[in-house]
A and B are shown apart, each in its own frame.
Chain A
Amino acid sequence: MSRFKLVLGALLGAAVAAGGAALAEELKVGFVYVGPIGDHGWTYRHDIGRQAIEKALGDKVKTSYVESVAEGQDAERVIRQLASSGHKLIFTTSFGYMNPTMKVAKRFPNVHFEHATGYKRDKNLSTYMARFYEGRYVAGRIAGAMTKSGTIGYIASFPIPEVVRGINAFTLALRSVNPTATVKVVWVNTWYDPGKEGDAAKALIDQGADVILQHTDSPGPLQVAEARGVWGFGQASDMRAFAPKAQLSAIIDNWDGYYVARAKATMDGTWDSRDTWGGFNTGMVEMAPYNERIPAEIVADAKATVAAISAGTLHPFQGPIKNQDGEVVVPAGKALDDGALLGMDWYVEGVQGKLPK
């Protein structure tokens, strides 16, 4: 069997080498995905970004990707394989790829690496992330105005700072409109299980929630909201098709602009190592079109909120902010800095239940 392969390999290897040399000098961009593209969530949006590079730069680029790369031993091998097969710009799109990306980056100083959601950087390793909490703040303003029961259901994936930050931003905005409203959180311990996410939505609605917010990937919860006649928000993509009546808006991940810019920068030699944490102002976070059933003044408020956050005149984590015990943790006149946001592990007042630690 091995001899057979060797013969085959020798024959084919020669052919491939001959073919490869003739290719033009295009920029090869590689992507490592944590889920399948068909998740219609996190990975799906990164792949839309990859396609944006191809659209913008045409035949000057060639992109490759590997789907569903587990965050264990596999990640380092895949990243290294991309680096050693001529990819000059590599995006690794999940937090668990941080250390593998770091290791491979040290070994390939001439390749540019971009790691999403992490905090370790190097000369040839940038990090990037979007301020999705800004979108959740806007969702909170809308939810506060739309809720009748004053109870919001929040379907959460895992207790990581990103998710906690979203819960808090949402709750602060919610209570800025509706000071007595509360948020019930259910952790489903998965990013993607349409059925279970939907079941969590049902449980929350049965407990009185009339607006559902999700930090999981599938349209399952929104479909439940649609069927039960309550409100919901889309995640990562505009999910209106799944819940035309129920979706108030959606918090959209938009990597297109960033990916195209970084590919261009690599091509013209201006790429530098940096930390990007982009919000509404960079286009990385967008609100989907607002539901027609939302009263005009609430839509106007949402749009004004987006504009104010974008302009920097409104900070979602502006003091005074109280924690669950009612203690003021951020005094009036101050706002939480990025360091505190990055590692957030406490709930603001208005969130029910204890944060699992």
Chain B
Amino acid sequence: MSDIGIFVSVVLTVISAATPLLFAATGELVAEKSGVLNLGVEGMMLVGAVTGFAVTTVSGSATLGIVCAALAAGGMALLFGFITLTLLANQVATGLALTLFGVGLSSVVGQSFVGTPVDALPKLAVPGLAAIPVLGPILFEHDALIYLSVIMVAAVAWFLYRTRAGLVLRAVGDSHEAAHAIGHPVIRVRYLAVLFGGAMAGLGGAFLSLSYTPMWGENMTAGRGWIALALVVFATWRPARVLLGAYLFGGVTILQLHAQGVGIEIPSQVLSMLPYLVTILVLVLISRDQAKVRLNAPACIGKVFHPST
């Protein structure tokens, strides 16, 4: 393969490694911006992955599979919302319990699908643009979910900072009491944000089981839900930085695999630490401006709200 060919191929690998993280982290960002911390991302992703796979296999329609993945993970998020927003339970613990629940549920649902293949999502080349050398395959020759993941980041950025609804959502996350006092429906806004977060985690899961490695295997997320959570923090709650973080993390992961392949004599465990260490390092560099981080961090994150006060 030519050098340029290798470059394109590596970039494509990074993009697909980053996409499940991008979906889940963007969704979680919206939930957190509204003041809700849902640690159940891993569980929601798994439910999305198994639902997407199962529906696609049974119905033959990947589109239906993807929609159902978002709905099923959204259902998980609804459960989380009911327990934390309506019944006012602690969000951190409920989120962790949601992960236990989701791991179990996906395993039960997926039992009969282990060992069956499914066709990977088709690549949709943008006519004309895909033929551009280098940039064409990198930007314009992906499956629908990869395009969607980037579109969603832009859409979320636009929604949060350019629309009135986004302003309300941020207001709710920054001070639910103030938002409530002005008459914003705090709980309803949070429900919607949590549902969106769930649906996005479901899409991330569906990407795993329908595109990244088109198969179902128990626990196939292998911790990606946790990385997504970390990326939201890494991004200091800004959508564009989620994009940056996901590609950075994916990039370092892929690079360390390449480094091993070319025979760099550093123990593989140390190389495997790199993505985590680089993430910490970059976080330290971008967190130094306290005021900016404060500005973006939702002040009410994880806090219970009840309108009766």
Task: Find out whether A and B make contact in their complex, taking CB atoms under 8 A apart as touching.
Answer: yes
Which chain A residues have a beta carbon within 8 Å of chain B's beta carbons? 35-40, 44, 153, 159, 184-190, 192-200, 202-208, 218-220, 223, 227, 237, 241-242, 352-354, 356-357
CB of A189 within 8 A of CB of B269, answer yes
- Quick one: closest A residue to B17, CB to CB? A199
B198: Cβ under 8 A from any A Cβ: no
B91: Cβ under 8 A from any A Cβ: no
A-B pairs with beta carbons under 8 Å apart, 29 shown: A36-B107, A37-B114, A38-B114, A184-B263, A187-B260, A188-B257, A190-B222, A193-B223, A194-B208, A194-B212, A195-B208, A195-B224, A197-B213, A198-B213, A199-B253, A199-B257, A203-B258, A206-B10, A206-B13, A207-B258, A219-B117, A219-B213, A220-B215, A223-B215, A241-B117, A353-B263, A356-B267, A356-B269, A357-B267
Instruction: Give the most central of A36, A199, A204: most B CB within 10 Å.
Output: A199
Chain B 1-31, CB-CB to A under 8 Å as 1, else 0, gives 1000010011001000100100000000000
Interface size on B, residues (CB 8 A): 41
Given contacts A204-B261, A207-B261, A353-B263, 14 further A-B contacts (CB under 8 A): A35-B218, A39-B217, A40-B217, A44-B114, A184-B261, A187-B269, A190-B222, A192-B222, A199-B13, A199-B17, A219-B215, A241-B115, A242-B117, A354-B263
CB-contact partner of A218 in B6, B217, B269, under 8 A:
B217
- Quick one: closest B residue to A203, CB to CB? B257
Chain B 80-119, CB-CB to A under 8 Å as 1, else 0, gives 0000000000000000000000000001001100111100
* Chain A proximity of B251: nearest CB distance (Å): 11
B219: Cβ under 8 A from any A Cβ: yes
CB of A242 within 8 A of CB of B215, answer yes
Contacts of B111 in A (CB 8 A): 37-38
CB of A186 within 8 A of CB of B260, answer yes
Contacts of B214 in A (CB 8 A): 223
With known contacts A189-B272, A192-B217, A206–B1 Cβ distance under 8 A:
yes
CA distance A170 to B208 in the complex (A): 31
CA distance A354 to B270 in the complex (A): 14
* Chain A proximity of B106: nearest CB distance (Å): 9
CB-contact partner of A185 in B110, B114, B260, under 8 A:
B260
Instruction: Give the most central of B111, B219, B220, B257: most A CB within 10 Å.
Output: B257
With known contacts A38-B107, A195-B222, A203–B213 Cβ distance under 8 A:
no
Contacts of B208 in A (CB 8 A): 194-195
CA distance A200 to B256 in the complex (A): 10
- Quick one: closest A residue to B220, CB to CB? A194
User: 4 closest Cβ contacts across the A-B interface?
Assistant: A38-B218, A187-B268, A193-B222, A194-B213
B265: Cβ under 8 A from any A Cβ: yes
B254: Cβ under 8 A from any A Cβ: yes
Chain B 261-304, CB-CB to A under 8 Å as 1, else 0, gives 11101011100100000000000000000000000000000000
CB of A202 within 8 A of CB of B9, answer yes
CA distance A133 to B120 in the complex (A): 32
Contacts of B258 in A (CB 8 A): 203, 206-207
CB of B263 within 8 A of CB of A195, answer no
CA distance A106 to B244 in the complex (A): 56
CB of B254 within 8 A of CB of A203, answer yes
Contacts of A197 in B (CB 8 A): 213
CA distance A38 to B107 in the complex (A): 7
CB of A352 within 8 A of CB of B263, answer yes
Contacts of B272 in A (CB 8 A): 187-189
Contacts of B216 in A (CB 8 A): 38
CB of B20 within 8 A of CB of A195, answer yes
Contacts of B268 in A (CB 8 A): 159, 186-187, 189, 356
CB of B260 within 8 A of CB of A218, answer no
Contacts of A44 in B (CB 8 A): 114-115
CA distance A220 to B213 in the complex (A): 6
CA distance A187 to B257 in the complex (A): 8
- Quick one: closest A residue to B5, CB to CB? A206
CB-contact partner of A203 in B13, B218, B263, B267, under 8 A:
B13
Contacts of B217 in A (CB 8 A): 38-40, 192, 194, 218
CB of A227 within 8 A of CB of B261, answer no
CB within 8 Å of A: which B216-254 residues: 216-220, 222-224, 253-254
* Chain A proximity of B269: nearest CB distance (Å): 6
CB of B265 within 8 A of CB of A195, answer no
CB of B115 within 8 A of CB of A40, answer yes
- Quick one: closest A residue to B106, CB to CB? A38
Contacts of B260 in A (CB 8 A): 185-187, 203, 353
CA distance A10 to B299 in the complex (A): 51
- Quick one: closest B residue to A208, CB to CB? B1
CA distance A202 to B139 in the complex (A): 19
CA distance A196 to B271 in the complex (A): 14
Contacts of A190 in B (CB 8 A): 222
CB-contact partner of B222 in A37, A153, A196, A241, under 8 A:
A196
Instruction: Give the most central of A153, A186, A197: most B CB within 10 Å.
Output: A186
Contacts of B267 in A (CB 8 A): 356-357
